[in-house]
Structure 1
Amino acid sequence: MSIGFTKDGHVARVTLDNPKALNAISPAMDDELLAAWTEIDADPDIWVAVLDATPGKAFCAGADVSGGTDRDGRMALGGGLTGVGGPRYVLRKPLIAAVHGYVIGGGFELAMCADVIVAADDAQFFIPEVKAGIIGESGILHRAVRRLPHHVAMGMILTGDRLPVTKAEQYGLVNEVVPVDELAATADRWAAKIMACAPLAVQAAKDAALRGLDMSLEQALGTRYEPIEAYAGTKDQLEGLAAFAEKRKPVWTGR
């Protein structure tokens, strides 16, 4: 059990690979995920990341506790992305989650950490804790009530009922639903759409949008965002202005 990590041009692909446990995330996988996120952020030639999982019944069943529940307090689930169980890691680069099958508990939460979610038409989302008679870290609850209509989220939380992908699309939880065999290509298409934009501007926009969520509208409007200010005078900003004046497509460098 491990993760896959590959680079193809400006795209990094991170793959959960623990199919015998429904791609649940072990502490060792958490270590590898944190290393992957850190490398993605540190490499200026990576502009977009895609998170997917080995084909099978599930995208991810959350934390793999088959070897015990002690995670040594090393980091949060998902290499830090969820902020549950340890320090939260906020990825600077845009992240696309490509989900299929069962998207359960912490796996559901990990998917919600992405900026874009594309889903196979067999995807089903679960918050199963109360049905199993357990409740622990509550990150999934806080994210669900922020990502879904209130009564839809509370219905899932209080009953453990599943949310089929058709409803997830209707409620705006996912960006697109496609047949299973088109999932990877759809994630790549979304990555290409993002890469058509200036990468540093994309990262600055993500930073401002997410930071502003924790503020009132007035505070968000009055805040200065360092990545936006740092973008001024970059090669890509100048390239964007030149391409507009010359009526051509810009050629971005991420610098």
Structure 2
Amino acid sequence: MADVEFTRDGNIARVHLNRPQGLNAITGEMDDLLFKAWTEINNDPEIWCAIVSAEGEKAFCIGADVSEGPERKVRMALAGGLTGIGGPLVALRKPLIAAVQGFCVGGGLELAMCADIIVSADTAQFGLPETRHGIIGECGVVHRAIRQLPHHIAMAMILTGERIDAATAAQYGLVNEVVPYQALADTTMKWAGKITKCAPRANYAAKAAALGRLGYPLEVALMSRFEEIEQYAESDDVRERNAASAEGRKPVWTGR
């Protein structure tokens, strides 16, 4: 079996790291497979939502596989961005859910933070161990951490390398829900079900608008126009929304 498995369940794509013997550390080959998966998810109109998960209870992902040496070919194509090792920035347009368990550290934490929703097993440990091991580069993970966690919590993680547990991550708003490990897969699918009940192209447009002006003042965001919203206004789903409303029924979305 591949170290990254890409499967479909209706309108939901699954990207599954399957290298538990290496704590799901990402090799160059896995990185290429991830890049292909995100690209296919972006381009396939039948995919409305994606889940990234990992095999084994010990770890979601511990980042890049450093055993491949300094010449390793790892872009870390982590859905919403990179660790800065090189390669193109990948912005996933579809909603992404991360199902996290065990160690979620370094580039693995970046992968989780690229998701729109994080479901965490109660076994999860989140951390930024780079400086503890004398490693630092153009790390995307530190930029995400300082934006997604309270300032002093993020800086403490960055500067000490110490981890926080799932309950603490939930307290600081890093994760949406904490469940027993045995319930992780089912809970994640429930979240995916909530997402796919919505008009898919409305979700894409909402995500584009919310994230596209995240670093701007509110006044700029309010005055902005978004191509995705304008495209959605001309979509089949808008016509279906109007027809369903007129006919007193639930809409049947197509994502087109």
Q: Give the TM-score range, shorter chain.
A: over 0.9
Checking the alignment, whether the CA contact within 8 Å between 1:30 and 1:79 is kept in structure 2 is no
The CA distance in 2 between the partners of 1:12 and 1:90, in whole Å, is: 16
Whether 2:215 is the aligned partner of 1:245: answer: no
| Equivalences for residues 76-91 of structure 1 within 5 A | 76-78=76-78, 81-82=81-82, 84-86=84-86, 87-91=88-92
Q: Given the superposition, is the C-alpha separation of residues 139 and 164 from structure 1 closer, same or farther in structure 2, using an over 3 Å criterion? A: same
Closer, same or farther: CA 243–43 of 1 in aligned 2, 3 Å: same
CA contact (8 A) 1:82 1:113 kept: no
Quickly say closer, same or farther: Cα 1:85–1:41, change in 2 above 3 A.
Answer: same
Taking structure 2 as the reference length, the TM-score comes to 0.95
Deviation per CA, 1:93-117, whole angstroms, max 9, x where unpaired? 1100000000011100110000110
What is the CA distance between 1:77 and its match in structure 2?
Answer: 4.2
TM-superposition CA deviations, 1:103-154 (whole Å, max 9, x none):
0111001100001100001001011112222222321111111100111111
Stretches of structure 2 that go unaligned for 5 or more consecutive residues are none
- Percent identity reads 57
1:131–1:159 CA contact under 8 A, matched in 2:
yes
- Which residue does 2:222 correspond to in 1? 221
Shift of 1:68: 1.1
In the alignment, which residue of structure 2 is the partner of 1:75? 75
1:36-80 deviation line (CA, Å, top 9, x unaligned): 1111111110100000001231000000121212244x7344377
Is 1:49 the counterpart of 2:65? The answer is no
> Is the 8 Å Cα contact of residues 199 and 254 (structure 1) preserved in structure 2?
yes
The answer as to 2:140 corresponding to 1:139 is yes
TM superposition shift of 1:83: 5.1
Distance between the aligned counterparts of 1:85 and 1:183, measured in 2?
Answer: 31
Give the distance between the partners of 1:194 and 1:42, measured in 2 at CA.
18
Structure-2 residue corresponding to 1:7: 8
Contact 2:79/2:114 (CA < 8 Å) preserved in 1? Answer: no
CA contact under 8 A between 2:78 and 2:110: conserved in structure 1?
no
Distance 1:240 1:80 in 2: 30
Superimposed CA distance per residue, residues 171-214 of structure 1 (whole angstroms, 9 cap, x where no aligned partner): 11001111101111111111110000000000011011110113
- Partners in 2 of 1:18 and 1:253 — Cα distance? 35
Asked if structure 2 preserves the Cα contact closer than 8 Å seen for 1:7 and 1:13, the reply is yes
Cα 1:65–1:80, aligned 2, differ >3 Å: closer, same or farther?
Answer: farther
RMSD: 1.5
Corresponding residue pairs, total: 254
Q: Please, which runs of 5 or more residues in structure 1 have no aligned partner?
A: none
User: 2:163 corresponds to which letter in structure 1?
Assistant: R
Distance in 2, Cα, partners of 1:101 & 1:127: 14
SS in 2 for 1:59: strand
- SS where residue 155 of structure 1 aligns? helix
How far did 1:246 drift?
3.0
